[in-house]
Amino acid sequence: MTDENTDVIQGTLDMLILKTLSLEPMHGFGITRRMEQVSRGVFKINPGSLLTALQRLERAGWLDSEWRQTENSRRAKYYSLTRAGKKQLEKETADWARRASAVARLLKVEA
Amino acid sequence: MAFLRSLIYGIRNLLRRTKRERDIADEIERYFEEAAAAQVEHGMTAEEARRTIRMEAGTMSSARAQANSYGWENSVSSFFSDLRFAARQLARHRAFTVTATLTLALGIGANAAIFTAIDSILLAPLPFNHADRLAVLGTRYSNTGRTTRRVTGPDGVDVRDQAKSLEAVSLMAGGEEGVQLRDHATYTEVTWVDENFPRVYSLQPIAGRLFSDAESHRSALVNEQFARNNFGSAQAALGQTVHIENEAIEIVGVLPGSFHEPGKTEVWEAFSLLPESKSRTAFNYRAVALLRESTSFQTAQTELNSLSQRLQTAYPEDNRNKQMVALPMTEALTGSARPTLMLLWGAVGIILLIACVNVTHLQLVRSMTRQREIAIRKALGSSRWQVMRPVLLESLLLAILGCAAGLLLALPAVRILIAMAPKELPRAGEIHLNGWVLAFTMAISVLTALVSSILPAMRAAKVAAADAMKQDASRGMERKGAARLRDGLVIAEIAATFVLAVAAALLLRTMSTLMTSDLGFETQRMLVVDADNPAHTDDDYRRMLRQFDEIFANLAAIPGVEHVAGVMGLPMGPYGSNGNYNTRGGLPVESHHAPEAIFSVASPEYFQTMGIPMLRGRDFNAQDAYDNPFVVVISQSVAKQSFGNIDPIGKQIQCGLDSDKWMTIVGVVGDIRQNSPAENPGPALYMPMKQHPAYANQIHIVLRTHVKPLTLINTVHSEIARANPLIAMRFTTMDSIVNESITAQRFRAALISLFAAAGLLLSMLGVYGTMAYTVAQRTFEIGIRMAFGANRAVILRAILRHAAILAGIGIAAGLVLSLLLARLVSAMLVGVQPMDPASLGGASLLLLLTAIAAASAPGWKATHINPLAALRAE
């Protein structure tokens, strides 16, 4: 644990989960591990928040879930992206890119 | 779509709570397992892995709690758990719950019942097609402002022919008539209508056909009910002949049983579009009209205004100041009931308010004892809203209980209301509970819940944890504000009850005035027979008069009968006439100001039978026949207004009843109240039956008896039928006629008294509750005072004085309210002023005594506090 790690930026957790699941269906801890790996430990995800977000996304119709065997033959709930979820991810990605580049431009001007 | 999915998920979770929780617990457990496994892969021991995860991800239980709290259904289930808590609280405090529920039930039930009547009578559309376009035509005199709901024949025809905003206009006339069927006669309401009548009401016969203008005085329509009662079925009635006023009339069509306009008409006889009366000053007809589609009453009235102007120009003498008006049918039919219903509504509104105050008060008392609980909740971090919620929910539950109990109460109450309702109450048969009433009742219940819980809830929210823990009323440290608030509620209650009590007193005084007023005649032991002897030709009339002579003589011979007479224009009866008269040898009269009088036609011995005193001169006798000089008996007021000090006997009078002949005054009798006990005795002219045969065939036979009048019905009936079986008869007594004439006043007085009694009961409960609570709270203080030698009487006096002061302030406030509201009832009062000191004084005394009585039980209890026990109690 270093001082560098932070909570996920407000409002981006949903998008990050969708992105992570766009590669393959995963269970809860799988999502956490993947996001920590890819972010190189910058984002730490708390299981309570993750499960809440997963419930929210499932209710929105962007995710499906089912109980399955893991590779080391334990049982876990796997989440996968639905078609609506894919569309939502595209939308949110484009939206984020637009905002991020705008923020980046603003910061550059300030400097 | 997303909303719907969320709704479905939420509902599924609500229904299967445990499954969801198990699922989440399971998933979290797996999550932690996977996480541990991953750490172990990185070379940690199982123990280290667990500790790391705990540090990074927290505990399983906090994750579970977080995941479980997601979703709208959670606020629902916490609402339900609060509701369960409230229900348990209510179940535990049974006395409180029962008292509050009954109080609310009384208030809500009374409101539901009265609103049922208001909804059915005033709000529900009339059960006619195009009810909103139906109008009643009337005539207004712009100089006096008086409106009559009648028109003259020629005016009615002019309106019908010229008013373009009216699609159809029908003139009509009629009333109670004897209808002779093949083997018997029956009394019913017969209305003569022209062929436009069915068009105005959009009527279709259920059997047969409508009549045309050519069938005047030959054809009739009857109501389905009438057809069934008299012929067996609607079909069977077709083609049958009945006799009305001695004319043979064929039934050509049957109208639906639900239709009986105007009034309770069962037979509609055809009459011509050209009315028989050609006079523009005789208001012989009623008229109804159908406005053209999308024409407003205002437009129609504007057209009638200009039409009236034209008529005034064309007939300057007859139509002077005359203005034709179109009143909406709804207003014409139900307008008369509005003041009474509004009065009742106001009264039950007050009852509901008192009930609310009582429940508020009960809640407050309860919340005082709950202050510690609330303080502890607050100290533990409950928000204002969380503290208020149980109080509000308790009230809501109480309101639901009260609503249910109130509706149960309203069902029989409505039935009693209908049974008690005066005959003139329009649409009484249509009164029923319906969806609107349910909605209204629920709305007022919720409102009640809010109103009665707002104070207690706000107090709960205001409780400061530290203060409440310190404060302990049972040690005489009650906050001043709390006591003042309860006192204020009691005062409000007493003020509201005072208003009801004053209204009840005024209406009861009106009733007693009416019941004891000297009518000018005797009502006891008097049988009244409505007798309709059909006559049409001169021969008929001669036969009819002969038959009545014979009948009077035969009836007088029946044992138990003292006197017998006949009359057209029985006091408070359905028939009568009135108008102007002229005198010869009387006081001079200003032109355009001819004196008025009631016209009655009577047989000899009428005055004796009725007990009307003969002051001067003589009664009619056998000599006063048609061919002999016409005579008249006048009442005292006529003598006074037209003759002053001159002796009227032998002077002459002329009136427009049926002939212009001058009549010689042969007697003077006492004045009577003709139309109602509420009216002042006034001028009347009495004329002998034999000289006015046209008014002598539809009469009342009055019999003064020694025995109970109704026991003679059979004998009288067979005696009359023996003379002529076609005379239609109906029996009643003078007492019940007089009684019925004041049913509206009795209805109001009875209901308002009932409401005042209910209000009194509730206020009594309120005062009792406050005092009992105060005494209970001050037990410790009183104990100390008694230990130091305070006198029992002093303590009792202090408590009673407290109650009396509250009552006094409440009465003063009520007095002010009554002053403001008095003019609303002034139109309903007879013989008593709205500010009647006796009523106000009586109500004040009643409330004061009630308050003191209610306080005396707790006061008595206070004097019997054992100081030792009281001091040891805590």
pLDDT digits (tens, 9 = 90+) for A33-88: 888 888 887 777 888 888 888 888 888 888 888 888 877 777 888 898 899 889 98
Q: What percent of chain B has pLDDT over 90?
A: 7
Distance from CA of A105 to the nearest CA of B (A): 35
Q: Are residues B587 and B642 in the same domain?
A: yes
Q: Which positions in chain A have a beta carbon within 8 angstroms of at least one beta carbon in chain B? A: 1, 27-30, 32-33, 44, 46-49, 51-52, 55-56, 58-61, 70, 72, 74-77
* B74 interaction partners in chain A (CB closer than 8 Å): none
Contact B265, B236 (CB under 8 A): no
Distance from CA of B1 to the nearest CA of A (A): 9
Residue B140 lies in a domain: no
Distance from CA of B27 to the nearest CA of A (A): 7
* A74 interaction partners in chain B (CB closer than 8 Å): 30, 33-34, 37
The residue to which tokens 């006094």 are assigned: B808
| B589 has a pLDDT exceeding 80 | no
Question: What is the pLDDT at residue B295?
Answer: 83
pLDDT-derived band at A4, boundaries 50, 70, 90 = very low
In the predicted model, what is the mean pLDDT of chain B? 83
| B297 has a pLDDT exceeding 70 | yes
Residue B81 lies in a domain: no
Question: What is the pLDDT at residue B631?
Answer: 93
Q: Which 3 state secondary structure label does DSSP give B871?
A: helix
Question: What is the pLDDT at residue B474?
Answer: 47
Residue B646 lies in a domain: yes
Residue B116 lies in a domain: no
Contact B752, B504 (CB under 8 A): yes
For residue B232, the tally of other CB atoms under 10 A from its CB is 10
* A46 interaction partners in chain B (CB closer than 8 Å): 57-58, 63, 66
Name the residue facing B70 among A27, A52, A75 (closest C-beta). Answer: A52
Domain boundary pick from B725, B756, B790: B725
| A2 has a pLDDT exceeding 60 | no
Diameter over CA atoms, chain A: 54
Residue B233 lies in a domain: yes
Chain B, nearest residue to A48 by Cα: B63
Q: Which 3 state secondary structure label does DSSP give B168?
A: strand
Q: Is B71 in contact with A59 (Cβ distance < 8 A)?
A: yes
Q: Is B31 in contact with A27 (Cβ distance < 8 A)?
A: yes
Question: What is the pLDDT at residue B671?
Answer: 92
Chain B, nearest residue to A43 by Cα: B56
Interface contact B28, partner A, CB < 8 A: yes
d(CA A38, CA A29): 14
* B37 interaction partners in chain A (CB closer than 8 Å): 72, 74
Q: Which of B150-159, B243-252, B477-486 has the lowest mean pLDDT?
A: B477-486
Mutate to test the interface with B, among A27, A34, A55, A63 (most CBs of B within 10 A): A55
| B643 has a pLDDT exceeding 50 | yes
| Residue B77: φ, ψ to 5° | -75, -25
Name the residue facing B2 among A32, A60, A70 (closest C-beta). Answer: A60
Boundaries of domain holding B421: 340-515+743-872
Mean pLDDT over B750-764 rounds to: 85
* A58 interaction partners in chain B (CB closer than 8 Å): 9
Contact A56, A14 (CB under 8 A): yes
Q: Are residues B183 and B306 in the same domain?
A: yes
Chain B, nearest residue to A59 by Cα: B6
Q: Are residues B858 and B775 in the same domain?
A: yes
Mean pLDDT over B536-547 rounds to: 85
Mutate to test the interface with A, among B27, B48, B74 (most CBs of A within 10 A): B27
Distance from CA of A97 to the nearest CA of B (A): 25
Distance from CA of A78 to the nearest CA of B (A): 10
pLDDT in tens, B411-429: 888 888 888 777 777 777 7
Instruction: Identify the burial level of B172 via C-beta atoms within 10 angstroms of its C-beta, where 0-12 means exposed, 13-18 middle and 19 or more buried.
Output: buried
Q: Which of A24-28, B84-88, B434-438, B661-665 has the lowest mean pLDDT?
A: B434-438
Q: How many inter-chain contacts (A to B, CB under 8 Å) are there?
A: 80
* A27 interaction partners in chain B (CB closer than 8 Å): 30-31, 34
Say how many domains are in chain B.
Answer: 4
Name the residue facing B27 among A28, A33, A70 (closest C-beta). Answer: A28
d(CA B639, CA B683): 8
Q: Which of B62-71, B238-247, B464-473, B517-526 has the lowest mean pLDDT?
A: B464-473
Distance from CA of B463 to the nearest CA of A (A): 36
Closest among B518, B546, B514 to B533, alpha carbons compared: B546
What DSSP element (H or E) covers B581? Answer: strand B577-584
Domain boundary pick from B290, B320, B350: B320
Q: Is B2 in contact with A76 (Cβ distance < 8 A)?
A: no
Mutate to test the interface with B, among A52, A63, A75 (most CBs of B within 10 A): A52
Closest among A109, A65, A90 to B30, alpha carbons compared: A65
Q: Is B28 in contact with A47 (Cβ distance < 8 A)?
A: yes
Mean pLDDT over B568-596 rounds to: 78
Q: Is A48 in contact with B65 (Cβ distance < 8 A)?
A: yes
Name the residue facing A33 among B24, B38, B62 (closest C-beta). Answer: B38
Chain A, nearest residue to B9 by Cα: A59
Question: What is the pLDDT at residue B567?
Answer: 92
Q: Are residues B493 and B555 in the same domain?
A: no
Interface contact B66, partner A, CB < 8 A: yes
Q: Is B34 in contact with A46 (Cβ distance < 8 A)?
A: no
d(CA B598, CA B612): 15
Which residues, listed in sequence order, are joined to residue B652 by a DSSP beta bridge? B584, B664
Name the residue facing B2 among A27, A61, A77 (closest C-beta). Answer: A61
Mean pLDDT over B274-289 rounds to: 79
Would the CA dihedral through B36, B42, B46, B52 be positive or negative?
A: negative
| Residue B772: φ, ψ to 5° | -60, -40
Closest among B395, B375, B527 to B464, alpha carbons compared: B375
pLDDT in tens, B465-522: 666 556 554 444 455 666 777 788 888 888 988 888 888 888 888 888 888 888 888 8
pLDDT-derived band at A10, boundaries 50, 70, 90 = low
* B23 interaction partners in chain A (CB closer than 8 Å): 77
d(CA B418, CA B433): 12
Domain boundary pick from B667, B690, B725: B725
Strands B166-180 and B241-244: antiparallel
Distance from CA of B35 to the nearest CA of A (A): 6
Strand blocks (E) in B641-712: 652-655, 663-669, 684-688, 698-705
Q: Is B31 in contact with A72 (Cβ distance < 8 A)?
A: no
Residue B471 lies in a domain: yes
Interface contact B64, partner A, CB < 8 A: yes
| A111 has a pLDDT exceeding 70 | no
Give counts: helices (H), strands (E), chain B.
28, 22
Would the CA dihedral through B475, B477, B481, B484 be positive or negative?
A: positive
Question: What is the pLDDT at residue A15?
Answer: 87
Closest among B722, B669, B668, B406 to B557, alpha carbons compared: B722
Residue A19 corresponds to which tokens in the numbers above? Answer: 């992105």
* A56 interaction partners in chain B (CB closer than 8 Å): 70
Which residues, listed in sequence order, are joined to residue B170 by a DSSP beta bridge? B288
Q: Which 3 state secondary structure label does DSSP give B528?
A: strand
pLDDT-derived band at B873, boundaries 50, 70, 90 = low
| A5 has a pLDDT exceeding 70 | no
pLDDT-derived band at B1, boundaries 50, 70, 90 = low
Residue B328 lies in a domain: no
* A59 interaction partners in chain B (CB closer than 8 Å): 2, 5-6, 9, 71
Architecture label for domain A13-110: Orthogonal Bundle (1.10)
Q: Are residues B294 and B357 in the same domain?
A: no
Q: Is A76 in contact with B30 (Cβ distance < 8 A)?
A: yes
Q: Is B5 in contact with A60 (Cβ distance < 8 A)?
A: yes
Q: What percent of chain A has pLDDT over 90?
A: 9
**ipTM of the predicted assembly exceeds 0.90:** no
Q: Is B30 in contact with A51 (Cβ distance < 8 A)?
A: no
Mutate to test the interface with B, among A5, A7, A51 (most CBs of B within 10 A): A51
Distance from CA of A103 to the nearest CA of B (A): 31
| B530 has a pLDDT exceeding 60 | yes
pTM for this prediction: 0.72
Angle at B641 between CA B635 and CA B647, to 5 degrees: 70
Strand blocks (E) in B670-723: 684-688, 698-705
Q: Is A51 in contact with B32 (Cβ distance < 8 A)?
A: no
Question: What is the pLDDT at residue B591?
Answer: 58
What residues of chain B, 345 to 404, have a C-beta less than 8 Å from chain A? Answer: none
| B216 has a pLDDT exceeding 70 | yes
| B9 has a pLDDT exceeding 80 | no
Q: Are residues B302 and B403 in the same domain?
A: no
- For every residue of B308-375, DSSP letters joined together read HHHHHHH-TTTTTTEEEEEEEHHHHHHGGGHHHHHHHHHHHHHHHHHHHHHHHHHHHHHHHHTHHHHH
d(CA B227, CA B247): 19
Interface contact B70, partner A, CB < 8 A: yes
Question: What is the pLDDT at residue A3?
Answer: 40
Q: Residue type at B636?
A: Q
Question: What is the pLDDT at residue B769?
Answer: 79
Chain A, nearest residue to B58 by Cα: A46
| B864 has a pLDDT exceeding 70 | yes
Q: Are residues B458 and B539 in the same domain?
A: no
Strands B185-193 and B265-270: parallel
Would the CA dihedral through B392, B396, B398, B402 be positive or negative?
A: positive
* A48 interaction partners in chain B (CB closer than 8 Å): 58, 62-67
Residue B530 lies in a domain: no
